């Protein structure tokens, strides 16, 4: 069974055989439809790994294609993809964050004070900060140049 990334790569290469890897690839509407059709058939034939059943395979494959055209260095010109809105989905699965966001929306709708909305927004940010994994950074002093060691 193929991974989605590799299946997408193969589908794109079968539709756009003249594309050179690590060059920016722009697909037109007809090429996009053909690639999506190949991916849909691959999922239906259980040739491509699918972790969760999808209601609309065509819509899923359109998103899958767009995702890999942006992220796969073989199609995006060899650059590392950076999200335009990093952290926009932070706390999405947390019930506290969900309820605080609903509370913020309701407060806005009923014309709540700016101070109330600010307090709710701060509570949301605090909760998201709690959810982020704590990463401890350590520095190996032996690898730091002598002229910078005083900064440790």
pLDDT of residue 86: 67
Residue 21 and residue 54 in one domain: yes
Q: Is the pLDDT of residue 92 over 90?
A: no
The domain in which residue 110 lies consists of 95-131
Q: Is the pLDDT of residue 134 over 80?
A: no
pLDDT of residue 140: 86
pLDDT of residue 46: 95
Residue 30, exposed/middle/buried by CB under 10 A (0-12, 13-18, 19+)? exposed
Residue 11 and residue 52 in one domain: yes
Express as a percent the part of the chain with pLDDT over 90: 75
User: Reduced to 3 states, what is the DSSP secondary structure of residue 112?
Assistant: coil
Residue 16 and residue 59 in one domain: yes
Give the N- to C-terminal CA distance of the chain in Å, as an integer: 50
Question: Domain for residue 108, yes or no?
Answer: yes
What's the CA dihedral at 87, 93, 96, 98 to 10 degrees?
80
CA separation for the pair 133, 17 (Å, rounded): 43
Structure-model confidence comparison of residues 92 and 122, the more confident one: 122
Residue 32 and residue 67 in one domain: yes
| Residue 135 pLDDT class (50, 70, 90 cuts) | low
> Which candidate, 57, 79, 76, 58, places its Cα nearest to that of 68?
76
Question: Against a cut of 0.85, is the pTM above it?
Answer: no
Number of domains in the chain: 2
Question: Domain for residue 87, yes or no?
Answer: no
> Which candidate, 28, 44, 30, 35, places its Cα nearest to that of 12?
35
> Which candidate, 82, 69, 73, 94, places its Cα nearest to that of 21?
73
Question: pLDDT tens, 112-131?
Answer: 999 999 999 999 999 988 88
Structure-model confidence comparison of residues 120 and 91, the more confident one: 120
pLDDT of residue 87: 67
| 50, 57 contact by CB (below 8 A) | no
Mean pLDDT of the chain: 92
């Amino acid at each position: 069974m193929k991974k989605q990334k590799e299946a997408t790569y193969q589908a794109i290469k079968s539709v756009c055989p003249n594309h050179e890897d690590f060059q920016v690839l722009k697909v037109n509407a007809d090429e996009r439809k053909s690639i999506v059709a190949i991916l849909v058939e691959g999922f239906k034939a259980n040739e491509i790994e699918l972790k969760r059943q999808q209601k609309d395979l065509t819509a899923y494959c359109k998103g899958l294609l767009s995702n890999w055209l942006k992220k796969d260095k073989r199609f995006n010109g060899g650059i590392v993809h950076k999200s335009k809105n990093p952290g926009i989905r932070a706390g999405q699965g947390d019930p506290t964050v969900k309820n605080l966001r609903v509370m913020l929306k309701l407060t806005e709708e009923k014309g709540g004070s700016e101070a109330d909305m600010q307090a709710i927004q701060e509570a949301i940010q605090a909760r998201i900060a709690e959810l982020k994994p704590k990463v401890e950074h350590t520095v190996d002093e032996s690898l730091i140049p002598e002229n910078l060691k005083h900064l440790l």
